[in-house]
Amino acid sequence: MIRVRLSGKDEEKVLSGAVQLAEHLKHTFKWDQIDILGPAPAPVLRVKGYYRYQVMLKGNCRKVRSKIDSCLAVYRKSNSVIINVEVDPFGF
């Protein structure tokens, strides 16, 4: 399982980025055994002025790691949204 957390000061940009990322991942992994869950607000939506949303990837992600990296590279170019990736997250 992989958690991709997006955060930023502008909630609209963060949510929009999370929706776009989730759709891109769903399209990319349509034929793989990976389930894309979300986007959903993080358990604590706002921390120190930053809004947080997350997308979960469930399945055997090790086989498709290069595809995941290439998808995330497109969205990491945005300066207003921070992307954090956690493999096998302890808490949701």
Domain ranges of the chain: 2-86
Residue 22: DSSP 8-state: H
The pLDDT tens digits of the residues spanning 45-88 come to 899 999 999 999 888 777 777 778 887 887 777 678 888 888 87
Residue type, 91: G
Position 7 pLDDT exceeds 90: yes
Return the CATH architecture of domain 2-86.
2-Layer Sandwich (3.30)
Whether the predicted pLDDT of 20 surpasses 60:
yes
**Is 67 strand, coil or helix?**
helix
**Integer Cα distance of 65 and 44 in angstroms:** 28
Check whether the bond before 43 is cis (ω within 30° of 0). no
CA distance 19 to 15: 6
Write down the pLDDT at residue 62.
72
CB 4 within 8 A of CB 57: yes
Helices (H) and strands (E) in the chain, counts: 2, 4
**Residue 91 pLDDT:** 63
Q: What percent of the chain has pLDDT over 70?
A: 95
Q: Does the pLDDT value for residue 40 go beyond 70?
A: yes
